[in-house]
Amino acid sequence: MTTSDPQALEKEAIERLDTLASVPTLGGPLGRVIGWIDTLFLGLAVMALVAIAITVLLQISGRLFLPFPMAWTEELSRYLFVYMVALSAGVVLRRNRNVNVELFHHCLGPRARAGYQVAVCLLIGGFAWIVLPYAWLYAQNGAWQTSPTLRVPMLYIFFSTVVMFALLLSYSALGCIEGLIAMLRPKERR
């Protein structure tokens, strides 16, 4: 099938490259709210990335032009990186952008792709469910510790693990719901 519509060509190319993108996401008002939440977490992650770039540039400039190094910049960039990963982990799962090996995805039909998504989300969600209470205990260990140069309570830094596993749990539940809906949807509605 040949078409000159750029959007249709782009959609076809993405579906060929990312076979799991064919599993439909939730629509309607709930889908819009989830889209806004995705945008919020991606925006926060992008802000952390921009802050990392500014911090590293400041560190390089300080080493070149100041007589003393700014030790806090390395620590801040590390903490920003940790939060960037934690804030984007759920959206990465939702958009199927995790690193994976696609050996058989293109051979699966629409229902099997949805079932595969459900299985992956169940595994990730189960792991997040098991680890989340321990992540909270880990974060609480930082309540009486401070970071070496910034003097920030480590509770805020360690809390990134709670954020990440809570987001993975939430987004894996959402992925399971979307996969189950796609599996149970009548064939003519796909």
Q: Is 62 part of any domain? A: yes
Q: Which helix (H) or strand (E) holds 126?
A: helix 110-141
Q: If we measure between CA atoms, which residue out of 109, 89, 112, 87 comes closest to residue 99?
A: 89
Residue 113 in tokens: 């792709």
Residue 13 covered by a domain: no
Which structural domain, as residue segments, surrounds residue 185? Answer: 26-97+108-189
pLDDT per residue rounded down to tens, the chain (190 residues):
556 788 777 767 666 666 666 677 888 899 999 999 999 999 999 999 999 999 999 999 988 898 887 889 999 999 999 999 999 999 999 988 777 767 777 788 888 888 999 999 999 999 999 999 999 999 999 889 999 999 999 999 999 999 999 999 999 999 999 999 988 888 755 4
**Per-residue confidence (pLDDT) for residue 18, from 0 to 100:** 63
- Tell me which amino acid residue 18 is: D
Query: Is residue 1 one of the residues assigned to a domain?
Result: no
Domain membership flag for residue 34: yes
Number of domains in the chain: 1
Counting every residue, how long is the chain? 190
Query: What's the pLDDT at 95?
Result: 86
- Asked if residue 10 belongs to a domain, the reply is no
Q: Is residue 8 part of a domain?
A: no
Q: Report yes or no on 102 lying in a domain.
A: no
Residue 140 domain flag: yes
Q: Name the pTM for this structure.
A: 0.85
Helices 72-94 and 28-65: crossing angle in degrees, nearest 10, is 160
Tens-digit pLDDT profile for residues 128-138: 999 999 999 99
pLDDT tens by residue, 86-128: 999 999 999 887 777 677 777 888 888 889 999 999 999 999 9
